[in-house]
């Protein structure tokens, strides 16, 4: 009986005017290659976030949707 664990990005959703990302990370426990447990962790990524520690899939989505215009509008909204 060998238990292993892996993590993977389960879902990335984009919401609202400022393209806030909601990222779900799945933590999967396997016994002899068969999934026996799955838990979820969620976090958000804003246009001004440091994404250097994010998974490459999340970084790619951020690069696509967090344009300079979106980043600028987000910064303006924070000062209002």
Domain spans in the chain, listed from the N-terminal domain onward: 3-79
Which residues have CB under 8 Å from 38's CB, separation 6+? 26, 27, 28, 29
Residue pLDDT tens, the chain, 80 long? 899 999 999 999 999 999 999 999 999 999 999 999 999 999 999 999 999 999 999 999 999 999 999 999 999 999 87
CA distances, 18 to each of 4, 15, 27, 70, 77 (Å)? 38, 7, 28, 6, 9
């Amino acid at each position: 009986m060998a238990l292993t664990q892996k993590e993977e990005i389960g879902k990335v959703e984009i919401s609202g005017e400022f393209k806030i990302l909601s990222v779900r990370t799945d933590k999967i426990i396997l016994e002899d290659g068969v999934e026996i447990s799955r838990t979820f962790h969620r976090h958000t990524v804003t246009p001004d976030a440091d994404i250097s520690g994010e998974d490459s899939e999340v970084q790619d989505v951020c690069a696509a949707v967090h344009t300079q215009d979106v980043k600028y509008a987000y910064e303006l909204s924070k000062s209002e």
